[in-house]
Chains A and B, each alone.
Chain A
């Protein structure tokens, strides 16, 4: 029996499209009232996972429960508990924002559809645009409307598939605020993202999905301990300088790209290493046009986690 404080539990989930294995036995649990992020690159299987959990796709093997209901056997009950905000805003372009909300409200058989629509329009800052067709909305407005539609009918679990992909930085921050507020109102949020920073900002727990497998899970702090400490990127005006610095820093793990005359040096982020590198650069007397220190990227996380797993 699933403990009552679990909103979603997934066991040994597998899914293939013809010969393509998309999900290879994934397991995770999401606590009620928390924000859970499924982090992974394009094609990892995030949308497929969301589609299975929101009863749009049937898994080949394994099982999943949402709010205690089995997604296959009790799909109607599951649909009564959830709301889905898909990867591409599922709004009606021809209707106005208000009409979109009213339509969903009626399909949810709410008693005071007009009032609820008005409230949500106000809450998501869409009152001014309420009576314009959605085709005139910006990407951020569409996303907000999409989410507002998902909130009608008070779902207990909400699925957000890449809620900020394609948004400008300002709209992204607004979306983050909204998502944090959802959690405050007691809703369990399951979101997917390609960005480590987003998962870090929002999620209580993160699972990293790569190539259909969960390669790591834990809180942001726990995951960060597993990360390499980023890298330094140097740009040169002269290819000879690039080559000589490459040779000079042979003790470090480096990546030399002649085409863009860039040298990437992987560091552990310690002062000792940084000083050492800077000293060596000074003695080399080369012309460096750009010096940047990069935080770890999702790519680094995957590489490090996967190489650790493979015992490299």
Chain B
């Protein structure tokens, strides 16, 4: 119906407002997605940083991209937790019996994931600036960083949606987060891959997070990005499209 299409975006923004309230009222979420990554950044820079050889004079500069990705990955478990609880508690039934687009509640969750991650990334960048982070990147490079982070968020978000739609319990829905927490840790986010044993190194150098971290780091530091950016984009867009396809299929089947 025309009316429903007309209100699609305002309906999604109502959904967004709702989930953002959920986030701001959940200390647990704020700690995991913002405070923890910041604490990690402090720990690495001021406690371990002196012992880590990265080849840059400023370790915050080296660390920041990885910390941003950790913050995003940490938020993913909550996306699927929120979606799963909505499905369980029958509020989706209420939405679906109202004259709004069927997909609006789902897009509300996806948009919330984007917006809430953007907020925590900005907070993390501000803290990093206080800690001595500086960037020579121009507007275009920053734009590219924003795009890559957004694509990374979307790719993980759609994976979280699949988990929430197919889970039988809350734990099942949130379990998707654990491997995602690990990926940034086993990458070049904290230390260069050169220092790792060859088997680990083979994994780190070929997993998506490393190429994303390398790209963002190069963009922020005004260095040449090389091939990494295309590998990073291919990973993000590839995962996003596949996950989106399966998520939508599951959503339509389920509801």
Contacts and interface: CB of A to CB of B under 8 A. Distances in A.
Interface of A: 51, 54-56, 76-77, 79-80, 82-84, 86-95, 99, 103-104, 106-109, 133, 149, 153
Contacts of B131: none
B194 interface: no
A136 to B, nearest CB: 13
Main secondary structure of the interface of B (DSSP, over half): helix
Nearest to B14: A106
26 contacts: A56-B96, A76-B99, A80-B99, A83-B97, A84-B94, A84-B97, A86-B94, A87-B90, A88-B90, A89-B90, A90-B91, A90-B94, A92-B18, A94-B22, A94-B25, A95-B21, A99-B21, A103-B14, A103-B17, A103-B18, A104-B98, A107-B11, A108-B98, A108-B99, A109-B7, A153-B98
A76 B26 CA distance: 35
A277 B14 CA distance: 67
Interface in B85-124: 89-91, 93-100
Contact of A107 (B14, B21, B93, B255): B14
Pairs A-B, 5 closest by C-beta atoms:
A90-B90, A84-B97, A90-B94, A76-B1, A79-B99
Interface size bracket, B side? 20 to 34
A103 to B, nearest CB: 6
Contacts of A149: 94
Nearest to B23: A94
Given A56-B96, A95-B18, A103-B17, 5 more contacts: A92-B91, A94-B22, A104-B98, A108-B99, A153-B98
Interface in B187-220: none
A107 B95 contact: yes
A252 B90 CA distance: 49
A132 B4 CA distance: 32
B93 A56 contact: yes
A9 B161 CA distance: 37
Contact of A90 (B21, B22, B93, B255): B93
B18 to A, nearest CB: 6
Contact of B97 (A56, A77, A88, A94): A56
A185 B18 CA distance: 31
Nearest to B255: A56
Contacts of A82: 97
A94 B94 contact: no
Nearest to B82: A94
Contacts, number: 65
A14 to B, nearest CB: 20
A93 to B, nearest CB: 7
Nearest to A152: B98
Given A80-B99, A107-B100, A86 B18 contact: no
Nearest to B105: A107
A80 B99 CA distance: 5
Contacts of B89: 88, 90, 93
A107 B100 CA distance: 7
Contacts of B25: 94, 133
Contacts of A86: 90, 93-94
Contacts of A51: 93
B98 A79 contact: yes
A93 B11 CA distance: 20
Nearest to B100: A107
A42 B206 CA distance: 55
Interface in B211-252: none
Contacts of A106: 10, 14
B150 to A, nearest CB: 26
A210 to B, nearest CB: 25
Contacts of B10: 106, 109
Contacts of A93: 89
Given A86-B90, A95-B18, A107-B14, A76 B4 contact: yes
A150 to B, nearest CB: 8
Contact of A55 (B14, B21, B97, B100): B97
Given A86-B90, A90-B91, A109-B7, A79 B97 contact: yes
Contacts of A133: 25
